């Protein structure tokens, strides 16, 4: 085997492992479960080779403060609510269910907000943060592909774990590198001497280096293993220890009332503890009181009592990798059953705010200060346990209780921060999005998982999060000064997800993609367990392929490693594929599958070279299938979505998947865009706006100053 092919296999393994357990949302379930690692060997973030970086254990130096601009007494407050769908807001307005937002609508502005292409959180929030289109900031999807190797990789950034030398000393601290191009607008404000606080804005990780700004990172912060969230589920009904998508199952064997389990914690990159990928293991014991329906959980250092149907208090963990280096984590429990059978859920091992694996606040001490103020708090960026709910290791009620409690803690934090003297306060909540993803099945009677009973019980779970949003807005408005500008956004709307399109299978059937060893395009399909795109497809004859939530890439000469499509051929080929897909209908219902298909010209800027050649924009009910995200081609073109992940927007059409926009002042357009808020905020507080920010002013407050 040549060194090049050895490297390729290594890369493929890393990328495939990434897709099995790491990726956000339902992608974590797209891997073949048979192929997953054993339960004591959860998989890490892709460790694809990166340029060697200098050892770095100290926080980078902070930039020097600039004098505050004139007029800097003004304040902008921006509240973000992920995934709020305007048609539901309108229906709730009609029923007088959102009184505080209605006041803003009547006294200020309420409009649909144009999202990014595609209208999914990585691209949309990155557009909000940078005031640029996707082609400029370069975050196209949860999943990207490497044209040199045709393999999927994380779409927004990469974790490097702590490196230790043989003595156990740290030679490089763990760190996360974002692929995003462009600074956040709040960092721009901080650089001009303004006081800013940014709280839990999705995909703003790592924390910005700022002279005086405060920042708490949200979505993007991983668990201590570098996954978006890996849960633990313990039960005496499990027969064997096994990994499932998004977590692992551990059987409990009781001796009297007590069961003991060993669980893997932090990963030791030196593999000191055995096989590659070994983890520092710790013991945990459960003593069940079946009459009281409680479980006493004993960890390394403490015993807590967890009650049935309640989230427990947080516990701390220490994973000692060497005499001089330990990884610290926190977690908590939810007892689902503590009677005849025992079933205990444990949330992922997330960063300890007093000693985080990777800094997730600015200044570094801010995470610990928040613990001093509020006690231990959830630090994982993927902050709701969707994987566990999908796999039935957590209940709907436990999930919704957590959503309510987490939204309330974020609210408390934001209201407290409003009492401080700031020029900009930006805060986001992800609860509405996650509840919509998981509970859409109970609001769409055509969804395969819809039931009357479920609809009665959970059919308004999404509305409940909107009511909470309205309460938060009311409390924030009550704290505004007369001159304060309030902007409220959601990054995109929502659609139902009833059927998945196996895009690669469609490409195979239509002669654009060829599977090795299966010359009959009418029947060829990829092995379910095979995620190695190099071994599935014959790149010497294939013209196009799909990786990610809604992207098609040509096998382009000079870009893809084994590209065969010339530049001269590419435009006609793109138009041909686009035309055929736009004509595609569901053979069962006759419904059209796509509302639109965008081509790469819609993306402009320094990252446009990485853009997909075709960006799919599905009609309501359809999305790319799970196997498509990892590049596979199952036997059938369509597949029923019988997953609880039942609402989606990742590859919907930006033209009909707007978010919402509210302001406490009249704006100057009926069509605000997600890239306009940062520009408006900077101008309102008297800051200069960088020339490459694409957004426009939404208020008639003069010209933006560059
Ligand atoms: Zn979403």
Mean pLDDT of the region 88-105 = 98
277 falls in which pLDDT band (50, 70, 90)?
low
> How does pLDDT run across 33-46, given as a tens digit for each residue?
333 333 333 233 33
5 falls in which pLDDT band (50, 70, 90)?
very low
Cα 388 from Cα 396, distance rounded (Å): 10
Top-level CATH class of 76-132+182-223+358-494+657-684?
alpha beta
Mean pLDDT of the chain: 90
Give strand pairing partners of 599.
614
Model pLDDT, residue 168 = 87
Model pLDDT, residue 69 = 60
User: How far is ligand 1, taken at its centre, from the CA of residue 295, in Å?
Assistant: 34
Burial class (CB in 10 A: 0-12, 13-18, 19+), 624: buried
User: How far is ligand 1, taken at its centre, from the CA of residue 147, in Å?
Assistant: 26
User: How far is ligand 1, taken at its centre, from the CA of residue 492, in Å?
Assistant: 8
166 falls in which pLDDT band (50, 70, 90)?
confident
The structure tokens 């949309």 sit at 124
- Whole-structure pTM value: 0.91
Cα 75 from Cα 419, distance rounded (Å): 12
CB burial string 372-411: b at 16+ within 10 A, e below: eeeebbbbbbbbbbbbbbbbebbbbebbbebbeebbeebb
Cα 84 from Cα 142, distance rounded (Å): 19
User: How far is ligand 1, taken at its centre, from the CA of residue 670, in Å?
Assistant: 25
**φ, ψ at 123 (rounded to 5°):** -75, -45
Mean pLDDT of the region 446-473 = 98
User: How far is ligand 1, taken at its centre, from the CA of residue 315, in Å?
Assistant: 29
User: How far is ligand 1, taken at its centre, from the CA of residue 264, in Å?
Assistant: 30
Question: 395 with 365: CB under 8 angstroms?
Answer: no
Question: 147 with 560: CB under 8 angstroms?
Answer: yes
User: How far is ligand 1, taken at its centre, from the CA of residue 481, in Å?
Assistant: 33
Mean pLDDT of the region 135-147 = 95
User: How far is ligand 1, taken at its centre, from the CA of residue 83, in Å?
Assistant: 6
Residues 6+ apart with CB under 8 A from 615: 117, 118, 550, 551, 597, 598, 599, 600, 602, 651
Question: Which of 485-499, 522-536, 547-561, 583-597 bottoms out in mean pLDDT, i.e. has the lowest?
Answer: 522-536
> How does pLDDT run across 110-125, given as a tens digit for each residue?
999 999 999 999 999 9
What's the Cα-to-Cα distance from 364 to each of 355, 358, 380, 595, 655, rounded to whole Å? 10, 10, 16, 46, 40
Q: How is the chain split into domains, by residue range?
A: 76-132+182-223+358-494+657-684, 231-347, 498-653
Angle at 143 between CA 570 and CA 80, to 5 degrees: 115
User: How far is ligand 1, taken at its centre, from the CA of residue 473, in Å?
Assistant: 21
Model pLDDT, residue 40 = 32
User: How far is ligand 1, taken at its centre, from the CA of residue 626, in Å?
Assistant: 15
Give the residue from 386, 384, 415 showing the smallest Cα distance to 402.
Answer: 384
> Which pair of structure tokens corresponds to residue 630?
């990892």
Give the residue from 698, 679, 675, 682 showing the smallest Cα distance to 74.
Answer: 682
Q: Say yes or no to pLDDT of 279 above 90.
A: no
Return the C-alpha torsion angle 560, 636, 248, 276, nearest 10. Answer: -30
User: How far is ligand 1, taken at its centre, from the CA of residue 119, in Å?
Assistant: 9
User: How far is ligand 1, taken at its centre, from the CA of residue 648, in Å?
Assistant: 6
User: How far is ligand 1, taken at its centre, from the CA of residue 435, in Å?
Assistant: 9
> How does pLDDT run across 334-344, given as a tens digit for each residue?
999 999 999 99
> How does pLDDT run across 495-538, given as a tens digit for each residue?
999 999 999 999 999 999 999 999 999 999 997 776 678 889 99
User: How far is ligand 1, taken at its centre, from the CA of residue 392, in Å?
Assistant: 20
User: How far is ligand 1, taken at its centre, from the CA of residue 405, in Å?
Assistant: 20
Edge-to-edge strand list for the sheet holding 196-199: 109-113, 659-663, 485-489, 76-81, 424-429, 196-199, 214-216, 361-362
User: How far is ligand 1, taken at its centre, from the CA of residue 218, in Å?
Assistant: 14
User: How far is ligand 1, taken at its centre, from the CA of residue 561, in Å?
Assistant: 33
User: How far is ligand 1, taken at its centre, from the CA of residue 82, in Å?
Assistant: 7
Model pLDDT, residue 65 = 42
Q: Is the peptide bond before 363 cis (omega within 30 degrees of 0)?
A: yes
> How does pLDDT run across 636-678, given as a tens digit for each residue?
999 999 999 999 999 999 999 999 999 999 999 999 999 999 9
Angle at 23 between CA 81 and CA 449, to 5 degrees: 70
Give strand pairing partners of 152.
145
Model pLDDT, residue 278 = 76
**Sign of the CA dihedral running 640, 646, 647, 649:** negative
Model pLDDT, residue 60 = 43
Percent of the chain topping pLDDT 90? 82
User: How far is ligand 1, taken at its centre, from the CA of residue 706, in Å?
Assistant: 34
User: How far is ligand 1, taken at its centre, from the CA of residue 565, in Å?
Assistant: 34
Model pLDDT, residue 533 = 87
Cα 663 from Cα 207, distance rounded (Å): 27
Q: What is the DSSP letter of 551?
A: E
Cα 465 from Cα 403, distance rounded (Å): 8
Cα 122 from Cα 125, distance rounded (Å): 6
User: How far is ligand 1, taken at its centre, from the CA of residue 343, in Å?
Assistant: 29
Decide: helix, strand or coil at residue 350: strand
User: How far is ligand 1, taken at its centre, from the CA of residue 212, in Å?
Assistant: 32
Cα 202 from Cα 126, distance rounded (Å): 8
User: How far is ligand 1, taken at its centre, from the CA of residue 649, in Å?
Assistant: 6
User: How far is ligand 1, taken at its centre, from the CA of residue 237, in Å?
Assistant: 33
Give the residue from 289, 295, 291, 323 showing the smallest Cα distance to 311.
Answer: 295
User: How far is ligand 1, taken at its centre, from the CA of residue 143, in Å?
Assistant: 14
User: How far is ligand 1, taken at its centre, from the CA of residue 337, in Å?
Assistant: 30
User: How far is ligand 1, taken at its centre, from the CA of residue 433, in Å?
Assistant: 5
Mean pLDDT of the region 160-168 = 88
User: How far is ligand 1, taken at its centre, from the CA of residue 239, in Å?
Assistant: 34
Cα 83 from Cα 494, distance rounded (Å): 6
Model pLDDT, residue 705 = 82
What's the Cα-to-Cα distance from 500 to each of 44, 81, 386, 599, rounded to whole Å? 27, 27, 19, 21
> Which pair of structure tokens corresponds to residue 497?
């997800």
Cα 143 from Cα 129, distance rounded (Å): 19
Model pLDDT, residue 70 = 52
Return the C-alpha torsion angle 321, 326, 328, 331, nearest 10. Answer: 30
Model pLDDT, residue 527 = 79
The helix (H) or strand (E) run that includes residue 7 is helix 3-17
> Which pair of structure tokens corresponds to residue 686?
């008297």
Mean pLDDT of the region 45-66 = 39
Model pLDDT, residue 48 = 33
User: How far is ligand 1, taken at its centre, from the CA of residue 436, in Å?
Assistant: 8
User: How far is ligand 1, taken at its centre, from the CA of residue 438, in Å?
Assistant: 10
Cα 470 from Cα 453, distance rounded (Å): 27
State the chain's maximal CA–CA distance in angstroms. 75
Model pLDDT, residue 555 = 98
Question: 555 with 544: CB under 8 angstroms?
Answer: yes
User: How far is ligand 1, taken at its centre, from the CA of residue 122, in Å?
Assistant: 9
Number of H helices, E strands in the chain: 17, 34
């Amino acid at each position: 085997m040549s060194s090049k092919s050895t490297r390729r296999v290594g890369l493929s393994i890393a990328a495939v492992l990434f897709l099995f357990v790491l990726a956000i949302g339902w992608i974590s379930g797209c891997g073949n479960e048979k192929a997953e690692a054993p339960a004591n060997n959860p998989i890490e973030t892709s460790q694809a080779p990166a340029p060697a970086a200098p050892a770095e254990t100290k926080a980078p130096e902070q930039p020097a403060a600039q004098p505050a601009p004139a007029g800097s007494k003004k304040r902008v407050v921006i509240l973000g609510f992920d995934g709020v769908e305007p048609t539901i807001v309108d229906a709730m307005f009609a029923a007088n269910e959102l009184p505080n937002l209605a006041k803003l609508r009547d006294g200020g502005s309420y409009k649909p907000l144009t999202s990014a292409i595609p209208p999914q959180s990585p691209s949309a929030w990155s557009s909000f943060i940078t005031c640029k289109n996707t082609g400029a900031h370069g975050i196209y999807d949860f999943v990207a592909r490497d044209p040199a190797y045709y393999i999927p990789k994380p779409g927004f950034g990469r974790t490097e774990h702590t490196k230790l030398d043989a003595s156990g000393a740290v030679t490089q601290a763990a760190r996360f590198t974002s692929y995003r191009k462009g600074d956040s607008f709040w960092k721009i404000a901080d650089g001009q001497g303004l006081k800013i606080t940014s709280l839990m804005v999705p995909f703003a990780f790592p924390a910005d280096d700022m002279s005086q700004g405060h920042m708490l990172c949200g979505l993007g912060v991983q668990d201590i293993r570098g996954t978006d969230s890996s849960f633990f589920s313990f039960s005496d009904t499990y027969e064997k220890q096994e990994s499932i998508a998004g977590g692992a199952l551990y059987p409990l064997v009781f001796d009297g009332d007590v069961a003991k389990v060993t669980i893997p914690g932090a990963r030791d990159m030196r593999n000191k503890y055995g096989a590659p990928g070994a983890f520092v293991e710790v013991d945990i014991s459960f003593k069940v009181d079946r009459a009281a329906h409680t479980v006493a959980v004993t960890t390394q250092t403490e015993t807590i009592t967890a009650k049935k149907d309640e989230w427990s208090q947080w516990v701390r963990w220490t994973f000692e990798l060497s005499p001089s280096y330990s990884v610290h984590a926190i977690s908590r429990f939810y007892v689902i059953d503590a009677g005849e059978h025992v079933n205990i859920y444990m949330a992922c091992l997330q960063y300890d705010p007093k000693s985080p694996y990777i800094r997730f606040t600015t200044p570094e001490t801010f995470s610990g200060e928040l613990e001093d103020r509020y006690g231990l708090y959830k630090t994982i960026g993927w902050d709701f346990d969707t994987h566990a709910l999908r796999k039935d290791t957590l209940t709907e009620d436990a999930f919704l209780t957590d959503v309510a409690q987490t939204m309330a803690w974020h609210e408390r934090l934001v209201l407290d921060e409003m009492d401080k003297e700031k020029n900009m306060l930006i805060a986001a909540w992800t609860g509405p999005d996650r509840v919509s993803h998981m509970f859409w099945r109970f609001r769409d009677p055509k969804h395969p998982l819809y039931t009357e009973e479920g609809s009665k019980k959970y059919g308004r779970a999404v509305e409940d999060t909107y009511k909470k949003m309205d309460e938060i807005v009311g409390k924030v408005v009550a704290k505004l000064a007369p001159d304060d500008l309030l902007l409220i956004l959601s990054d995109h709307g929502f659609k139902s997800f009833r059927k998945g399109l196996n895009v690669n299978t469609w490409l195979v059937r239509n002669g654009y993609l060829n599977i090795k060893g299966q010359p009959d395009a009418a029947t060829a399909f990829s092995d379910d367990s095979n995620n190695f795109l190099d071994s599935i497809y014959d790149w010497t004859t294939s013209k196009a392929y799909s990786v990610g939530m809604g992207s098609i890439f040509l096998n382009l000469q000079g870009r893809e490693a084994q590209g065969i499509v010339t530049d001269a051929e590419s435009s006609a080929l793109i138009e041909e594929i686009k035309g055929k897909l736009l004509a595609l209908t569901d053979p069962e219902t006759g419904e059209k599958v796509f509302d639109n298909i965008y081509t790469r010209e819609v993306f402009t800027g320094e990252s446009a070279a990485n853009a997909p050649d075709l960006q799919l924009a599905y009609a309501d009910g359809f999305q790319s299938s799970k196997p498509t995200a990892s590049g596979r081609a199952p036997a059938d073109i369509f597949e029923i979505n019988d997953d609880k992940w039942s609402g989606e927007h990742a590859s919907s059409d930006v033209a009909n998947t707007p978010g919402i926009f509210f302001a406490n002042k009249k704006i100057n357009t009926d069509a605000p865009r997600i890239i306009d808020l940062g520009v408006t905020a900077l101008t309102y507080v008297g800051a200069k706006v960088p020339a490459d920010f694409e957004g426009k002013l939404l208020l008639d407050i003069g010209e933006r100053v560059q």
